[in-house]
Amino acid sequence: MYTWEFPPLIAGGLAMACYGIVKSLLKKGIDVDLVLPTSEMLYIKFRKVEDVDTLPVVFIDPIKQQEYVSQSFSNISEKVEFIGLNVIPETYLCPEEIETYSLIMEKTYQEKLEFTTIEEKVIHDLSQYLVGDEDIFKKVKEMTARAYKFAQLLDFDIIHTHDWLTYPAGIISKRLTGKPLVTHMHATEFDRSGGWGNARIHNIESSGLHYADLVFCVSKYTANMVLSQYRVDSGKIRILYNAYDVGNIPDHRDRLFKGPTILFLGRITLQKGPDYFVEMAKRIIEKNHDVHFIMAGSGDMARKLLHRTANLKLRNRFLFAGFLNRKQVEEILNSVDIYVLPSVSEPFGIAPLEAMAYGVTAVISKQSGVSEVVQNAYKVDFWDIDEMTRIIQKLIDDPIHCFEMGLAGKDEVFRIGWDEVAKKLIEMYEELN
């Protein structure tokens, strides 16, 4: 399994989805070798359920492995630092690995200039899409180089890749071993950019989807996007909804403010619709003197929205919390009344499930995959600020109803577990045998 995130390396919902998937697979006796964008040549050997929290690492270099085994780590953070995982996923390869990669690419991609199958064309095209000096493409290229070694060293039955960053690694692994490939689509470039987006990322996504034996989509919404924008064979598309691994939820709320508190939690980017949240907040604040709004997260629209809230004179009624780690996310979810997901395009959206698990009433975009799964949440078009404002005001005016809606949502989320997802996932794996 190749992924760009896994706790404690968390940049978004992908990390928690991978955590839930791996943990539930281990419960059902499926072994997983996980590859992350580490600075060292290693993989994580998951064999027991508790491994998801301890990260049993295996270095390819036996000397480095011996050094690792001799270490004593007081916490997971020290282990993460030792193996070369940063807050933002990065990889750095030595010159020999880059040279090996270049030779592989040259041999694999230039063997034929005329193609008789789509697989041959996909392999050739990837050599063009991964050329460039931008950091992100360098890192994707580096992981792909490592995939060549992992494909030879590890014993596995299926290759499972998550999102475009790992699709090239999966393609190389399948090319070298002939093992079946699953590409898991958590979000498309159309979702992230609100349009065509980066052409190179779009092409990598297209290559990964067409070369795969099965394509897992996190919602019908995403499956329709894959079908319409990438023209993928519908016969290999499978819907696999996300779930939420409910942990220890506190028995009582630790409120930040006396009055109603409304939360936006996610990347502050076009895809997540944070500007609609701000405009709705302005209308609510004008009519309610004890309400507070919190925007938690980071992204390229953060500065713009900070200026916007200043111009609107929202002052201390609208707070920016910045990026939150896992513990801070749990603390803030335990302190708010309403969670709003106004995403323009949301393939799934695990954050609403997290909020609902804490008894927080959720108002979610109809343009989200999670809206296909949950019933005890308000659903609204992302652009309909009038309706969004009406719903929020109704919940503020009727706190008992808001509380009861939150409890109903909490009960519903406790029934949406990863074990059922794993059962379906294994059935899909078995199609490949």
Rounded CA separation 52/57 (Å): 11
CB 171 within 8 A of CB 208: yes
pTM for this prediction: 0.82
CATH 3.40.50.2000 in the chain, residue ranges? 261-413
pLDDT tens for each residue of 372-390: 999 999 999 999 999 999 9
pLDDT tens for each residue of 36-81: 988 888 999 999 999 999 999 999 999 999 999 898 888 887 888 8
HSE-up (13 A, CA, CB side) for residue 205:
26
Secondary structure E strands in 25-150? 32-34, 42-46, 57-59
Tokens 């609100």: give the residue. 194
Average pLDDT (9-28) is 90
Rounded CA separation 84/82 (Å): 5
**Among 284, 278, 262, 273, CA closest to 342:** 273
Average pLDDT (104-126) is 49
Average pLDDT (280-287) is 96
Angle, alpha carbons 138-15-227 (nearest 5°): 75
CB crowding 401-419: b at 16 or more within 10 Å, else e: ebeebbebbbebbeebebe
Domain 13-239 CATH (choose: 2.60.120, 3.40.50, 1.10.600, 3.30.70):
3.40.50
Secondary structure E strands in 120-180? 159-162
Q: What is the pLDDT of residue 206?
A: 92
pLDDT tens for each residue of 212-239: 999 999 999 999 999 999 999 999 999 9
**Could you tell me which residues come within 8 angstroms of residue 189 by beta carbon, excluding any fewer than 6 positions away?**
164, 196, 197, 198, 201, 202, 205
Q: How confident is the model at residue 134 (pLDDT cuts 50, 70, 90)?
A: low
Residue 123 parent element (H or E): helix 118-129
- Give the lowest-confidence range in 1-10, 213-222, 303-312: 1-10
DSSP alpha helices (H): ranges in 55-109? 62-69, 76-83, 95-109
Rounded CA separation 4/408 (Å): 34
CB 306 within 8 A of CB 320: yes
Domain 261-413's class? alpha beta
CB 268 within 8 A of CB 299: yes
What phi and psi values does residue 374 have, to the nearest 5 degrees? -95, 150
**Helix, strand, or coil (residue 415):** coil
Q: What is the pLDDT of residue 103?
A: 47
